[in-house]
Amino acid sequence: MRNRSSQSTSRADRRSLVCNLLEMPVGCYGPGMTTLRPRPGAGTAVDAPEPLYSLDVMNQDDVPEVSRVERRCFANPWPASAYRRELQNPGQNFYVVVRESLVTARKSNSESEEPKETNVDGSMAPVKPVPRRALLPISLGRRQDSGGQQRPAIIGFAGMWLAFDEAHVTTIGVDPTRRGQGLGELLLLCMFDEALNRGANWLTLEVRVTNAAAQALYRKYGFSTHGTRKRYYSDNNEDALIMWSPALNDPEFRATLESRRIALERRLGGRIEPDGLSPFSDSMRRTQSP
Ligand X SMILES: CC(C)(COP(=O)(O)OP(=O)(O)OC[C@H]1O[C@@H](n2cnc3c(N)ncnc32)[C@H](O)[C@@H]1OP(=O)(O)O)[C@@H](O)C(=O)NCCC(=O)NCCS
The answer to whether 108 and 83 are in contact (CB under 8 A) is: no
Cβ atoms within 10 A of the Cβ of 232, count?
23
Closer CB to ligand X, residue 107 or residue 171? Answer: 171
Q: State which of positions 99-118 bind ligand X (CB under 6 A).
A: none
Tell me how far apart the alpha carbons of residues 19 and 9 are, in angstroms, rounded to a whole number.
15
d(CA 86, CA 92): 9
Nearer to ligand X, 4 or 106 (CB): 4
Name the one range near ligand X by CB under 6 A: 23-31, 51-59, 87-95, 273-281: 23-31
DSSP letters spanning 204-253: EEEEETT-HHHHHHHHHTT-EEEEEEEEEETTTTEEEEEEEPPPTT-HHH
**23 near ligand X, rule: CB under 6 A:** yes
Neighbouring CB atoms inside 10 A of 147's CB total 7
- Shortest distance in whole angstroms from residue 187 CB to ligand X: 7
Q: Could you say which of 45, 75, 125, 216 contacts ligand X (CB under 6 A)?
A: 216
| Residues linked to residue 274 through DSSP beta bridges, in sequence order | none
Q: What is the DSSP string of 103-166?
A: EEEE--SSS--S-EEE-TTS-EEE-PPPPGGGSEEP-TT-EE-TTS-EEPEEEEEEEEEEETTE
- Residue 234: what residue type? S
**Contacting ligand X (CB under 6 A), which of 7, 9, 11, 26?**
26
Q: Is 218 a catalytic residue?
A: yes
For residue 166, indicate whether it is catalytic. Answer: no
Size of the site for ligand X (CB under 6 A): 25
What is the DSSP-derived secondary structure letter of residue 83?
A: H
Scan residues 45-74 and list those touching ligand X (CB under 6 A): 73
Q: Using an 8 Å Cβ cutoff, are 151 and 139 in contact?
A: no
- The residue within the footprint of ligand X, chosen from 3, 20, 101, 211 (CB under 6 A), is 211
The DSSP bridge pattern shows strands 136-137 and 116-118 to be unpaired
Interactions with ligand X, residue window 158-197 (CB under 6 A): 172-174, 179-185
Q: Decide if residue 217 touches ligand X (CB under 6 A).
A: yes
User: Closest residue to ligand X, Cβ-based?
Assistant: 184
DSSP state of 100: E
Determine, following the binding rule CB under 6 A, whether residue 82 of this chain makes contact with ligand X: no
State the catalytic residue, choosing from 53, 83, 95, 218. Answer: 218
Query: CB 222 → ligand X: shortest distance, Å?
Result: 12
Looking at 6-14, 89-97, 117-125, 208-216, which segment touches ligand X (CB under 6 A)? 208-216
When asked if residue 212 is in the footprint of ligand X (CB under 6 A), the reply is yes
Complex with ligand X: residue 49 or 182, whichever CB lies closer: 182
Task: Select 191 or 284, whichever has its Cβ closest to ligand X.
Answer: 191
Q: How far apart are CA 215 and CA 176, in angstroms?
A: 17
- The residue among 107 and 232 lying less far from ligand X, judged by its C-beta, is 232
Binding site for ligand X (CB under 6 A): 1, 21, 23-24, 26, 29, 73, 172-174, 179-185, 207, 211-214, 216-217, 220
Could you list the active site residues?
206, 218
